[in-house]
Amino acid sequence: MSSFTTADVPSLSGRTVVVTGASGGVGRVTATVLAAKGARVILAVRSEEKGHAAAATMDGDTEVRRLDLADLSSVRAFAESLTEPIDVLINNAGISIPPLERTADGFESQFGTNHLGHFALTNLLLPQVRDRVVIIGSLAHLIGRIDFTDLNWHRRRYRPYPAYGQSKLANHLTAHELQRRLSSVGSSVISVVAHPGIATTNLMNVEGRGLRYRIERSVIHTIAQPAEAGALPSIYAAVAEIPGGSSIGPSRLMGLRGAPAPAKRAIKTHRSDDARRLWKESERLTGTVFPFDTDQPRAASGR
């Protein structure tokens, strides 16, 4: 049984970490711990006001920069402004179960924010990454299905839960395909995926009326662990000596809570054909591509 805690995080002096969605919830806890351990942490946040408020509570070297993952022009501006080497990129930000909304580029908001925004950010920053990319998934990927005929819910009747599941399955497939591509060019950079189980963050604040919503709230608050515990898989994935392609999650109650440990991956996340197809479609939608020539091995950058 895993017993990893923040006390097990080594010194991160001299390392630079980017954490998206670092102004609240799991992202804020992750940024706080890594900064306290000596890393220079860049808080990539949609609201700079909230980002500065969060940074003011953290010990260590932090910097706040604006990033709106629901707007590809913001993603590009952020990437262009960040020219220094990055040791760890943690794709943490996300939205959960909103009514039907569209991003600045016309994508369904969950698919556009949780998947496409991070997909573009990763491709744009990857030449600067020296160690790893951590993609934050969710147990919701288990209910996810990628509908390649209507990724952005233009023809289907929009349903928030399936849309969220699709976006999180996309995260897992992307982590799988990113590792395949990194390995194919001989890179020492790794791609890993982590999920927090069920944590009491604002993503779990499901709004609604009626018995169904009261039951959901009751179940969530009975099972959920605090954000401090929900962040441990992200932190572990960012600092532990683990192989590329690893999946990390809570070790108890079927992955719902507990200390972080290697987690089993659903069969659907191993479907390489789906992962490659999603990658190509995501490239088309975002106008970003894997930045290395897959025919020419990339020199190892070292860790």
pLDDT tens track, the chain, 303 positions: 568 999 999 999 999 999 999 999 999 999 999 999 999 999 999 999 999 999 999 999 999 999 999 999 999 999 999 999 999 999 999 999 999 999 999 999 999 999 999 999 999 999 999 999 999 998 888 889 999 999 999 999 999 999 999 999 999 999 999 999 999 999 999 999 999 876 555 444 444 445 544 445 555 555 556 678 889 999 999 999 999 999 998 855 544 656 788 888 788 988 999 999 999 999 999 999 999 976 554 544 444
Distances (CA, A) of 32 to 60, 90, 225, 257, 301: 8, 13, 18, 21, 27
The sign of the torsion formed by the CA atoms of 78, 83, 89, 90 equals: negative
Model confidence, pTM: 0.89
pLDDT of residue 296: 52
CB 76 within 8 A of CB 51: no
- 40 bridge partner residues: 16, 61
Could you report the per-residue pLDDT of 40-59, keeping only the tens digit for each?
999 999 999 999 999 999 99
β-pairing, 129-136 with 190-194? parallel
Sheet with 16-20, edge to edge strand ranges: 61-66, 40-45, 16-20, 86-91, 129-136, 190-194, 247-252, 257-262
Please pick, among 158, 161, 164, 236, the residue that the annotation labels catalytic: 164
Q: Write out the two tokens for 87.
A: 């040791």
Determine the Cα angle at 130 with ends 126 and 134, to 5°: 65
- 164 labelled catalytic: yes
Domains by residue range for the chain, with CATH: 9-286 (3.40.50.720)
Residue among 241, 237, 228 nearest 260 (CA): 237
Q: Write out the two tokens for 45.
A: 């946040």
Distances (CA, A) of 48 to 43, 104, 228: 9, 19, 22
Q: Write out the two tokens for 93.
A: 């930000």
Burial label, 298 (beta-carbon count in 10 A; 0-12, 13-18, 19+): middle
Could you report the per-residue pLDDT of 185-205, keeping only the tens digit for each?
999 999 999 998 765 554 444
Determine the Cα angle at 300 with ends 298 and 303, to 5°: 145
* CA–CA separation, 70 and 105 (whole Å): 8
